[in-house]
Copies of this chain bind each other. A is one copy, B any other.
Amino acid sequence: MLSVVEAQAIVMQYVRPLTPVMIPLTSAAFGLVLAEDIASDLDMPPYDKALMDGYAVRSTDLPEGRGILTVTEEVTAGQTPRLPIAAGQAARIMTGAPLPAGVDAVVIRERTRMLDGNRVEIDDRPARPEQNVMRRGQEMRRSEIVLKAGTVLRPQEIGLLATVGRTAVSAHPAPNVAVLSTGDELVEAGRMPGPGQIRNGNGPMLLAQVCRAGGIPNDLGIAPDQVDELKAMITEGLRSAILVISGGVSAGKLDLVPGVLQELGVQAHFHKVAMKPGKPILFGTLGGVETRRQGDRETRREATSDDIPCLPVSLSPCLVFGLPGNPVSALVCFELFVRPAIRRLRGETDPGPHFREARLRQDFSHRSDRPTYYPARLDWCDQGWHVQPVPWFGSADLRSLTGANAFVLFPAGDHTHREGQVFPVLVTDE
């Protein structure tokens, strides 16, 4: 059976960042990944400027830091100085305002005293050239690349983009992710389950996981264990960049999903992974269609798996993940396989999943035939990460996860793990 790492490598073979689109520089851009290098269209600052409120001076006038200077004018931010400053003169100046010609330093206001309408007394340390001054182009020069393709757009990058004149940028968009829950036993949250029925908790849970991963959630609801309806709903879901199906993928008699996917042309790449919870996880792709234009002629061809490693960005296969129906299995499989795929489609270079090394807080006995992701509480204390498994009834028990913020990875076998031993921990809450 495939290991988790092997299975993740297979998924990543089929995932390429989505074709960039122009995104307006509003809150829609926050967190996206830039797909172009950004050059400044101006020098920043665009002029020599004052970094403090005070007086623009010639440092040679104040070798001891003290003196009385004649004030020629006042320059505020947004204004242009009218007069150059000669020896013995100064201009009153505001933070951000352009320096008049002739000056090379600013004395802060707290070190000055107005004597009358046009004279100022200065009592400061000896003036250094360039003090409290920023020179034109010191932060960036026109045509200089200030952000590279691949940069994640945080608040500072968005502020910088506006500063260099961008109102829209080329970025990888967030992928649409469709979520479909399957099973005759499922009813929507608003209904009281009849005998043998349970409410669909996986759908809302997975949609929230899509949000957390940075995808755009698309709720397809519940499909019954009935081939035609299932086929129609899966066909709908295959229009998204990712289709997540929960339930119907284990080897049970009514687990119809694999057959329907095959019939619809989805190529399955694996169907079982050595992990607990979550063994029966299916991953497949629908190859996508590549469109080429040459003059008037448009050719379309189905992509095959041979194409995938060198996918042109215009070719977007649909990634299909069939997750087990048990909620904890579904949640863990999503974090290990779907979330990294979403992040990679967004153009992120370190898509995870992210693990931390942490010390076990107490002895813990655990037996399993497969490596197990055990719900746990991860905390930082005493200058280190510590982890404690939470009480857990198994893959159906979602409630336990409300006390957890991570999963500690225990190896297969029958072990008593000791306090202080170090384990990898899957971080899900960030």
Contact = CB atoms under 8 A, between A and B. Distances in A.
Identical copies of this chain, number: 2
Contacts of A98: 195-196
Contacts of A252: 53, 76-77, 94-95
Contacts of A72: none
Contact of A95 (B26, B51, B325): B325
Among A78, A79, A200, A429, residue most surrounded by chain B Cβ atoms (within 10 Å): A78
B162 A203 contact: yes
B205 A189 contact: no
Contact of A78 (B80, B95, B185, B396): B185
A168 B349 CA distance: 37
Contacts of A78: 183-186, 196-197, 225
Interface string A389-404: 0000111111101101
A184 B250 contact: no
A397 B96 CA distance: 12
A350 interface: no
B80 A195 contact: yes
B159 A398 contact: yes
A429 B327 contact: no
Contacts of A166: 189
Contact of A251 (B41, B109, B193, B217): B109
Contacts of A183: 77-78, 96
A319 to B, nearest CB: 19
Given A193-B46, A198-B46, A159 B327 contact: yes
Interface in A46-65: 46-47, 49, 51, 53
Interface string A72-115: 00101111100000000000001111100000000001000000
A245 interface: no
B51 A398 contact: no
Interface in A185-231: 185-186, 188-190, 192-193, 195-212, 217, 219, 225
Contacts of A395: 51
A204 B25 contact: yes
A269 to B, nearest CB: 23
A60 B96 CA distance: 86
Given A27-B211, A79-B184, A156-B404, 14 more contacts: A42-B192, A51-B395, A53-B252, A74-B253, A97-B185, A134-B396, A139-B397, A156-B205, A159-B201, A159-B398, A162-B189, A162-B200, A163-B189, A383-B384
11 contacts: A44-B399, A46-B193, A109-B251, A134-B396, A139-B393, A139-B399, A153-B208, A156-B402, A158-B208, A162-B200, A430-B430
Interface of A: 25-27, 29-30, 41-42, 44-47, 49, 51, 53, 74, 76-80, 94-98, 109, 134, 138-140, 146-147, 151, 153-167, 183-186, 188-190, 192-193, 195-212, 217, 219, 225, 250-254, 325-327, 331, 357, 383-384, 393-399, 401-402, 404, 429-430
